[in-house]
Amino acid sequence: RRRPAREQTGPGRSGPSRRPLPAPTTPTREFVTGLPKAELHLHLEGTLEPDLKLRLAQRNGIDIGQSTVEEVRATYPFDSPTRFLPEYYPAMEALQTADDFYELADAYLARAAADGVKHAEMFFDPQAHTSRGVPFEAVVTGYHRAAAEAPSKHGIDAHLILCFLRDHSAQSAAETLEASVPFRDKILGVGLDSDERDNPPQKFADVFARARELGYRLTMHCDIDQVGSIDNIRTVLDEIGVDRVDHGTNVVEDPALVDVVRERGLGLTTCPISNSFVTDDMKATEIAGLLRSGVRVTVNSDDPAYFGGYVAENYVALAEAAGLTAQAVVQLARNSVESSGLRVSPRAAARAR
């Protein structure tokens, strides 16, 4: 909007030193997209958009109960937080072959590249597929083919993190871990997701100890506002010895634990839009407070096909809700690179870029 001439200030009228400083503004979507960043909390199965789901179902001859994209979209649980996990796993039936997993990951990587992602560590849930009779090998080879092509095709260094379903048994997790051993070179680390209620981290202590022996990096979800969230965060830090915590925002309940996370330089992978979906609160105050206190908080999209925002939208939503400056947003992007599983030299290169 053009201002009337009499309001104009500038060198001709009052000199540069009298010009008021521009008011701080929320960084724009364009600014956020232009920042090189890593995405570290992203479930590949949570990127299954309605159009791809329908196309894969039709290709595989699977009746998912809908025959148009609009009908599939209407089944996505945008309207009810508590419905998320019970709807999420059945939605995966459309995924059957290695090509299907390849296409899913490739579509995500294209979206991520458009948001300025240069490094992605992508969760996948093999038990959600092997429990339906899909071979482990089809899942991991399909996803890995997309990851291997990602540097040349999308300009992204892409890696896989195998997540165990915490509402399945520790025995099932142990079997899944052993099934991964022939594919060890294709998997960066292991994580833990699904329903945290009554499935605390201790349940998987032995599985994670074995994963560490195998050379995997370790991370675990500590979901938002769970019963015992703070105890679970303490356990993953003190007993499991994770390299990162997924969500973990409830750490603010114990300032001494915040100090531990800061001193160890541990990354917390927060997901603002997902938070607002599952708890009616983005947790912007908590995330911004952790950022200000020097904790390596990062911003991620979690399950963007379901929660309706890829990573850049998560940065913008958080920046608007918390009133973050451009410098704070740059710090979030820097944290994402520094919390990644990159080895030192590529990490330094990525930070420099």
Taking CB within 5 to 8 Å according to partner kind, which of Zn ion, ligand HPA, none is near residue 49? none
Cβ burial of 309 (10 Å; 0-12, 13-18, 19+) is buried
Q: Judged by CB under 5 A, which stretch of 71-79, 300-308, 321-329, 341-349 contacts Zn ion?
A: 300-308
Dig out the tokens for 44 from the structure. 């590949």
Return the closest-CA partner of residue 217 out of 348, 351, 121, 346: 121
Contact track, ligand HPA, 278-317, x by CB under 6 A: ------------------------xx--------------
Query: b/e string for 1-14 if b means 16 or more Cβ within 10 A?
Result: eeeeeeeeeeeeee
Decide whether 96 or 336 has the Cβ nearer to Zn ion: 336
Secondary structure (DSSP) of 222-275: E-TT-TTHHHHHHHIIIII--SEEEE-GGGGG-HHHHHHHHHHT-EEEE-HHHH
Cα separation of 353 and 350, whole Å?
5
Interface pick for ligand HPA out of 96, 194, 229, 336 (rule CB under 6 A): 194
In whole angstroms, the minimum distance from the beta carbon of 248 to ligand HPA comes to 11
Hunting for tokens 């849930």 — which residue is that? 125
Cβ 64 to Zn ion shortest distance, Å: 23
Residues 72-131 touching ligand HPA, rule: CB under 6 A, are none
Alpha-carbon distance 149 to 142, whole Å?
Answer: 11
- Of 206-235, binders to ligand HPA (CB under 6 A) are 221, 223
* Distance of closest approach, residue 196 Cβ to ligand HPA, in angstroms: 7
Residue 223 touches which of ligand HPA, Zn ion, none (Cβ within 5-8 Å per kind): ligand HPA
CB of 19 to Zn ion, least distance (A): 46
Q: Min. distance of Cβ 178 from ligand HPA in angstroms? A: 23
Interface with Zn ion includes 100 (CB under 5 A)? no
Told to check if 302 binds Zn ion by CB under 5 A, we report: yes
Say if CB 210 and CB 174 are below 8 A apart: yes
b/e map 257-283, b = 16+ CB within 10 Å:
bbeebeeeebbbbbbbbbbbbbeeebb
CB of 123 to ligand HPA, least distance (A): 7
Residues of this chain that bind ligand HPA (CB under 6 A): 43, 46, 193-194, 221, 223, 274, 302-303
Residues of this chain that bind Zn ion (CB under 5 A): 302
